[in-house]
Structure 1
Amino acid sequence: MGVAASYLRGLLPRPAATTAPATVVRRDGVRIDAAHLLRYARVCGFTLTGPLPPSYPHLLGFAPALELMARRDFPFRLPGLVHTRQVLTWYRPVEVDEVLEVEVSAANLAAHHRGATIDVLTRVRAGADEVWLGRSTYLSRAVHLSSTVDSLEVPEVEPLPADTWWRLPAGLGRRYAAVSGDRNPIHLSALSARVFGFHGAIAHGMWSAARCLATLGGRLPERGEATVTFRRPVRLPGRVGFGARIGTAATFTLVDAADRLLLAGRVTPLG
């Protein structure tokens, strides 16, 4: 199924559900397009010095994830979904010339005080080895489950002092959409974003996460895990500030011009 067809199917109503679907979407024989990788690196600020950036495999799973989320057994419609958290785990460096298998599934449908959440899992394998895992958590305000247990407790985080500021152009969402395939209208223009209740266009959460990881650069571990929590939309055009504290683990935050927290993240090495 093509991306456009998946978007259209994602608009359709869904039957009530109490568990995540068992559907698994797979892609075999996936190869990295070096020219595409270079475009991605330019948009996100990575310097290509060898293995894939740790956020790049997320793109390999985007079309399969969209296909999964467009199915009738997926409990949320696509319009109005909010990407609240992203976990990226890389078990070893992934080289550009490796042949990969990508598998996407859903898990952990749970109640939330603002609706319900679900995780979309993307697994990347090279031969028999799982080399990368992504866990994307989405919130739907339109779905309400009977449980009163909140699925996502978000601790309070104080923004770190911003020592790097980026000016984000109005067309950033369109540039990232061109390399990611994620053409959600809320990212493309102020006009299309207003149709979905936003005051203007907002950046993709995965661009923001990738840009932060690119700024950490050589301080990223060879084997590690990054957890990013999205707190507020990153508005386009705009100006945002990045701050980090580096130790055994790296913590980082992104703030707007008023010093309001936009995202918080942490990178830890795997033992």
Structure 2
Amino acid sequence: MPELTTAPSLGPLYLKAAVTGPTRRGGELPDTTYVRRDITVDPAELAEYNRVCGFGLRDELPITYPHILSFPASVQLMTDKGFPFPLVGLVHVANRIQQDRPLLVTEELTQTVRVADLRPHPKGKQFDVITETSVDDEVVWRETSTYLRVGRRDETAPQQRRREVEPGSASAVWRVPADIGREYAAVSGDRNPIHLHALTAKAFGFPRAIAHGMWSKARCLAALEGRLPGALTVDVDFGKPLLLPSKAEFTMLPTASGWDFALHSRSGKPHLTGSVTS
């Protein structure tokens, strides 16, 4: 199990992804697991993340923040020689986070990151990036991020989706500014060009820059802050890209076990559909 003593530098990794991407022709996922120990949270970086995503300042980490801490290791893994797909072009289609208890800002963390479960998707192939976060050798936070590599269509492939939240009964309407992609990139390190500027997004087929999926998830959970238990699971499916700038309708509905929530375009198409269960 390779050990990372510091967070990998994302700049050189993005350059590597750009150079090596055309040479990646598919194949099996590597069985590498990266581990990084003694991770501490920078209060200033956390405060800026909270500002961008809408969280308040607390002694506990937002449930989405360990994703930020592990992101460089996941990019390292997906730019390694044995990884079969180009990093550029992967589509984040779903994300699941399970938290057994809140993580404290002052705790030292250990994280492991690996990829698994290459399987068919109706639009190509999908796989999971699996992250576990531990405190004193006890795993208390787990994440499964599902990515799609668009390719040969397979209409027989199963695709599970969350229960739909119908549009039309919005709890709030959000004005999402044009620079939110750049602001989230600054706090997350995720500088995919589709999120940064209209010009770079157009090179990848988008009419304007689009918001990060994990910003959308974090922003929805920030709107539910104060209503969530300490132990919970949050599932989301990412849908229609959220173009920047735009207005989006946020809906939250209580359920027997927690909440259903969604982010819709003004035309009613879902950008994100999710659920919280305790």
* Shorter-chain TM-score above 0.5: yes
- Whichever residue aligns with residue 2 of structure 1, its letter is S
- 1:264 maps to which residue? 273
Runs of at least 4 residues off by over 3 Å: none
CA–CA distance in 2 between the matches of 1:80 and 1:87? Answer: 21
Name whichever of 252-261 and 35-44 sits farther off.
252-261
Give 1:149 deviation, angstroms. 5.3
- Whichever residue aligns with residue 270 of structure 2, its letter is L
Tell me the matched-pair count.
Answer: 266
Q: Secondary structure at the match of 1:157?
A: coil
Give 1:155 deviation, angstroms. 5.5
Name whichever of 55-64 and 256-265 sits farther off.
256-265
- Whichever residue aligns with residue 26 of structure 2, its letter is A
Give 1:177 deviation, angstroms. 0.3
- 2:187 maps to which residue? 179
- Whichever residue aligns with residue 5 of structure 1, its letter is P
> Taking structure 1 as reference, are residues 196 and 148 closer, same or farther at Cα in structure 2, changes over 3 Å only?
closer
Aligned 1:73-222 pairs, distance under 5 A = 73-142=82-151, 144=152, 150-154=157-161, 157-160=164-167, 161-222=169-230
The yes-or-no answer on 1:28 pairing with 2:37 is: yes
- 1:8 maps to which residue? 15
CA–CA distance in 2 between the matches of 1:175 and 1:240? Answer: 18
- 1:37 maps to which residue? 46
Provide the aligned C-alpha RMSD in A. 1.6
CA contact (8 A) 2:101 2:140 kept: yes
Give 1:48 deviation, angstroms. 2.1
* 1:39-63 Cα shifts (integer Å, max 9, x gaps): 0000000012321010111001100
- Whichever residue aligns with residue 161 of structure 2, its letter is V
CA–CA distance in 1 between the matches of 2:156 and 2:112? Answer: 29
> Taking structure 1 as reference, are residues 176 and 74 closer, same or farther at Cα in structure 2, changes over 3 Å only?
same
> Taking structure 1 as reference, are residues 16 and 163 closer, same or farther at Cα in structure 2, changes over 3 Å only?
closer
What is the TM-score when the length of structure 2 is the normalising length? 0.91
Give 1:156 deviation, angstroms. 6.5
Give 1:243 deviation, angstroms. 0.5
Q: Secondary structure at the match of 1:219?
A: coil
CA–CA distance in 2 between the matches of 1:25 and 1:231? Answer: 30
Aligned sequence identity (%)? 41
- Whichever residue aligns with residue 137 of structure 1, its letter is T
> Taking structure 1 as reference, are residues 53 and 156 closer, same or farther at Cα in structure 2, changes over 3 Å only?
closer
Q: Secondary structure at the match of 1:154?
A: coil
> Taking structure 1 as reference, are residues 202 and 171 closer, same or farther at Cα in structure 2, changes over 3 Å only?
same
CA–CA distance in 2 between the matches of 1:265 and 1:7? Answer: 30
The yes-or-no answer on 1:70 pairing with 2:84 is: no
User: Structure 1 stretches of 5 or more lacking a match?
Assistant: none
The yes-or-no answer on 1:50 pairing with 2:59 is: yes
Name whichever of 256-265 and 157-166 sits farther off.
157-166
- 1:231 maps to which residue? 239
What is the TM-score when the length of structure 1 is the normalising length? 0.94
CA contact (8 A) 1:159 1:254 kept: no
CA–CA distance in 1 between the matches of 2:155 and 2:80? Answer: 27
- 2:3 maps to which residue? none
Give 1:246 deviation, angstroms. 1.3
- Whichever residue aligns with residue 192 of structure 1, its letter is T
Give 1:260 deviation, angstroms. 1.5
- Whichever residue aligns with residue 243 of structure 2, its letter is R
